[in-house]
Every structure is written in structure tokens, then in C-alpha cells.
Amino acid sequence: MFKKILIANRGEIALRIMRTCKLMGINTVAIYSEADKDSPHVKKADQAFLVGGARVNESYLNIDKIIEIAKETGSEAVHPGYGLLSENPVFAKKCEEAGITFIGPSPEVISRMGSKIESRKAMEEVGVPVVPGITYPLSNADEAVKIASSMGYPVMLKASAGGGGIGMQIAHDSEELQKAFAGNQKRATDFFGDGAMYVEKYIENPRHVEIQIFADKSGNTIYLWERECSIQRRHQKVVEEAPSVILDEETRSKMGAAAIKAAKSIGYSNAGTIEFLVDSNKNFYFLEMNTRLQVEHPVTEEITGIDLVEQQIRIAADEVLKYTQSDIKRDGHSIEVRIYAEDPKTFFPSPGKITKLSLPKGSEVRHELAIEEQSVVTPFYDPMIGKLIVKGKNREEAIIHLKNALSEYEIEGIKTNIPMLREVISHQAFKDGDTTTNFVSKYLQNK
């Protein structure tokens, strides 16, 4: 087992990874930007090093500097967390070349799954259902219109390198598609350095259901059930739960089998998530694969009792999975909400200083926090400042726990989405399980 791991991330996920490292007796090395020098993740690590300026490209994306720190501190492995460098094949490759274990799949797999077009192609080849659409880049807007009219509107226009909702737009007719093409292509080029665009059929009222998989380096592959993450704003998840309210056992095991087939066919190792859209007839379609730990991994930990970060580290250290599929239990219901520093109505960012922080307590409540009282939330990074996770015997009980916890949750000094989360949880449609990806626009914004 490793003696020392460098955590190439910040915020709640850096702290989350450190917690498991401590339990495993592994020393931790943190990196931080100038803006994060007083952050909790810097204080909690065994060692911490300044990596650069506030902007991510000067600090958390500074591959060469991070590898240099890993080498100087004698770190044997790097955990990339999520976001930032977690799905960057160049970083994974450079770690490998420096003799440092990258906790994740191989650079080749990261690179292949990082392209939405390539990953669609890979899934089609092994017979995993994908959203109907094309698997090659469009040359221009006219070609997009030609393909869309043969598929039928509405369609989703997407950037192959896209993520976080950037570079994607729904189009209901040729005029909308024409208009959307140039803008989204430009944004994809600006953000990801890759303007490859494609179109797929728009699935009406879909749910977002994803399967958590684990594969060791010998190819043993299992799935840890699903998470439903349908409630989103700006194409980013807000509420996540496990199990999904829509799946029956038959669909669940079909999706699990498809996820395992997908992972095996590309030679996957470590933790990964296969995202699917599920339509109202319970047809499921591959959306994309995330080759890293997910933000919402705690709900899976709550229902399976398995520490996902520990498994990631063990697999990276060449251990063989000690679980087989029949060992994976499913107990109770867990819901996670993401706490964002933003206006609860407009979703505009709200950086600033936290003057008061008072958290709900209790055995049914789990916190993953990036902040503490007096922390300054800067404008340089993602607005997520924490996650609140609850567990109940069943969904009904989990909702009650969450409602109580949110009513006690107090943050002052900045605006947060907590009022919006309270609205979601209290809504009859949420209780009824009518959780489709348009929940926010359907039930909260059109009132």
C-alpha cells in the first residue's frame, strides 16, 4: 500500500479523500492556490504546498508544478478528485512517466471516453444502446440541419468535448439549430479547445440515471447500483439519490449488465460512472462515461456501506477487488443535495465571506464541506461549497430527514441555494417521484 498520496484538488473532495487516507494510515500532501491559503483542506493535510495563483490554470491545472511537488514530497500516488485534472489524459500520462500512480483508469481510456463522439462509437460497437444520433463531427450548421430534419425535432446539439452543460443546446426547429450552432461551437472551442459538434435526438422528459462501476486491474468488474440525478439547474446536478425511483429490478439489472459490458470492452480500471438517460417507457440510452469519482458518490456509499475512495486507492495499488457482484448490498435510501453559493432564484454566483455557519446534526445526516465559519468564498472556482447527505430506511424517511436538516441549515454572509433545495424537497412532485431533468423549470420557475 502507498505511504503517501498527493491530492490534486481542493474543497470538500480534497477533505473527503484525506479522511479515507487517514483511516488507511496514508500520509497526505495538499496543494493550494494563493486564494485558498486559509482553506480547510490546507490545514487538514499532513503537508501542504502552494502551487500558484488564484486562477486554476496557474494552480490546480498546473500539471508540471503538481508533478514536481509529488516527486519532491515522495508521493507514490496522486488522487485527482473530480473536475480539474481528473479527466485529463495528459496529466495521467505525465504521472505515469514520472513513476507516480494516477488513481484512475489509463490515459488511453480517459482520452477515449473524454470525447463524446468517440465514446458513443465505442458503446455502439459493443451493443450498448446510445441516444439516437450521429457518431462523427458535423462540418457545419447546414449539415446539422440536414441530419436533424431526417431524425425529427427536437434535437440536442452537443460539443464532443463538452461538460458541465457548456456547448449544448436544445433545438426545436431548423432556425433554432442554425442559430445555436455557431455560438455553441465557439464556446466549445473557447472552453475545451475542441469545436467538434454533433446532434442527437432529444429524449422527452428524461431521467438521468447513472451506474457506478468498479474494475480492478485484472478486469474483475462489478456495479454498485445506480444513482438518480435528474434534478438539475443549468444542466448541473442539484439533488442526487440512490436507489432511483423509476427503476424496477429488471431494468436495474439490464443497466448494470450494460455498464459492465461497456467498462470491460474498453479495458476499464478503477471507479467509473456510466450515465444513461431513461425515458418514460424505461428505455435507457448511454449518455457518457465519467472516468473518475463523482460528486454524488456518497449516496452509493450510504446504501452499500462501501468506502468508494478506499476501493479506488486499493485498485490503484494493484489489489484485487475483494467483492463480487453478489456481495454488493443495497440498504435503505440516501439523498444528497449540493449547497451552492448562488442566488436561489437566478442561480447567479454569490461569492463573499461566510459570517455564520450552523449545521444540522444527527446520525442520519452526513456533511461534506469545503468551508467553515469565516471562510471566504472566492469567485475563482465552482460555486459548490458543500454537500448534505441523509439516509433513511426508505425514500419517505430520507425525505423527512432531509427536510428537517435543511430547515436547520444556516449560512449567512453569502446567498445560497438552500431556499431552492427546501422548495424541491417539500414539493409534492418530488415526493411522488416525478423527478425528470426539467423539474426546476416545470415546477419551480413557472409558478
Partner 1 sequence: MSKLISNMAGSVWKIVVKQGDKVEKGQDLVILESMKMEISLAAESSGVVKEIKVNEGDFVNEGDVLVELE
| CA–CA–CA angle 44, 50, 51 (5° rounding) | 120
For partner 1, the closer of residues 192 and 323 by Cβ is 192
- Does residue 234 belong to the site contacting partner 1 (CB under 8 A)? yes
- Does residue 210 belong to the site contacting partner 1 (CB under 8 A)? no
For partner 1, the closer of residues 22 and 234 by Cβ is 234
What cell numbers appear for 221 in the block?
468488474
Selected from 99, 281, 348, 428, the binder of partner 1 by CB under 8 A is 348
**Is 82 strand, coil or helix?**
coil
Distance CA 430, CA 447 (A): 16
Helix axes 11-23, 308-316, angle to 10 degrees: 70
Q: Which stretch binds partner 1 (CB under 8 A): 122-130, 300-308, 365-373, 381-389?
A: 381-389
Peptide bond before residue 154 is cis, with ω within 30 degrees of 0: yes
# binding residues, partner 1 (CB under 8 A) = 15
What cell numbers appear for 280 in the block?
418514460
- Does residue 350 belong to the site contacting partner 1 (CB under 8 A)? yes
Residues recorded for the chain = 447
Cβ at position 138, least distance to partner 1 in Å? 24
What cell numbers appear for 397 in the block?
424517511
Cβ at position 79, least distance to partner 1 in Å? 21
Selected from 159, 197, 246, 341, the binder of partner 1 by CB under 8 A is 341
- Does residue 342 belong to the site contacting partner 1 (CB under 8 A)? yes
Q: Answer whether 125's CB lies under 8 Å from 178's CB.
A: no
Residues numbered 151 to 180 that lie near partner 1 (CB under 8 A) are: 164
- Does residue 305 belong to the site contacting partner 1 (CB under 8 A)? no
Cβ at position 1, least distance to partner 1 in Å? 35
- Does residue 381 belong to the site contacting partner 1 (CB under 8 A)? yes
Selected from 53, 137, 154, 349, the binder of partner 1 by CB under 8 A is 349
Other residues' Cβ atoms within 10 Å of the Cβ of residue 135? 18
292 annotated active-site: yes
Q: Classify residue 374 as left (phi > 0), alpha (psi -120 to 50) or beta.
A: left
Q: Which stretch binds partner 1 (CB under 8 A): 63-71, 149-157, 350-358, 427-435?
A: 350-358
- Does residue 36 belong to the site contacting partner 1 (CB under 8 A)? no
Q: Which stretch binds partner 1 (CB under 8 A): 10-18, 44-52, 87-95, 374-382?
A: 374-382
Q: Answer whether 300's CB lies under 8 Å from 364's CB.
A: no
Please tell me which residue in 112, 292, 338, 366 is annotated as part of the active site: 292
Question: DSSP class of residue 205?
Answer: S
**Helical H runs in 295-394?**
297-304, 308-316
Question: Which neighbouring-strand residues pair with 288?
Answer: 275
Grid cell 444513461 — which residue? 276
In the complex, the residues that contact partner 1 under the rule CB under 8 A are: 164, 234, 341-342, 347-352, 379-383
Residues known to be catalytic: 292
